[in-house]
Structure formats: structure tokens, C-alpha cells
């Protein structure tokens, strides 16, 4: 399974997006750890957002995640 995502140490938020993540339709609901994003058509979880990630996720996992990529539009 392919996983995209990033970790923003300033916001202390880790965002993971799984296969079938469709940014045009994905919706989210709050859970204790942050957000659970799912496909509204199938109900499948396609993303997770962790708030206070440094307290909730292993340090090794956070170290593997890249920082948010700020792309400059042409």
C-alpha cells in the first residue's frame, strides 16, 4: 500500500494519505487523535491526521515523514 503524507513540527500535525485518496471528494470527521478522512461513497478510510503527533506517534515514524512541501505555483 502506498502512503503519502507529511509531518509539520510547527503545528505538530502528521497527515497520512492512503491509496484511493481522492482530494476532490474526501470528507473527514474528528476522532480522539485528530481526523479520520474517508471516501464518502465507499466509507473507506483513506487518510488520517494526527494532532499532537509527537505525543501520539512513534518518533521513528515522524522522522520518516517529510515536511509539508510548499509548492510555488507557476
Partner 1 sequence: MPAAKGEQLNAATSAAKGTQAAEKLPARLPTHSHTARQIELTRPITTTKDGAPNARGAALETGAARANSEETHFSVSRATPRRVSSRAPGSHAGSIDVRHPVSMPTGPQRVRWTDHAYVKANVLGAAREDVERAVIDRHPARQTNTGAAQWRLLSGPWIILYDHPDGDDQTTARIVTLWRRR
Contact residues toward partner 1 (CB under 8 A) are 6, 8, 10-11, 13, 15, 23-24, 26-30, 34-35, 37, 40, 49, 51-52, 67-71
Q: What is the distance between the alpha carbons of residues 49 and 51, in angstroms, rounded to a whole number?
A: 7
Nearest distance in Å: CB 58, partner 1: 19
Cβ neighbors of 27 (< 8 A, separation 6 or more) are 37, 38, 40
Q: Which of residues 35 and 57 has its CB atom nearest to partner 1 in the complex?
A: 35
Nearest distance in Å: CB 74, partner 1: 14
Asked if 28 and 22 touch (Cβ cutoff 8 Å), the reply is no
Amino acid at each position: 500500500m502506498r502512503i503519502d503524507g507529511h509531518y509539520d513540527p510547527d503545528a505538530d500535525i502528521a497527515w497520512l494519505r492512503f491509496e484511493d485518496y481522492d482530494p476532490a471528494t474526501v470528507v473527514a470527521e474528528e476522532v480522539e487523535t485528530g481526523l479520520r478522512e474517508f471516501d464518502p461513497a465507499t466509507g473507506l478510510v483513506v487518510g488520517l491526521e494526527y494532532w499532537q503527533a509527537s505525543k501520539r506517534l512513534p518518533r521513528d515514524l515522524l522522522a520518516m515523514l517529510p515536511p509539508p512541501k510548499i509548492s510555488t505555483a507557476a
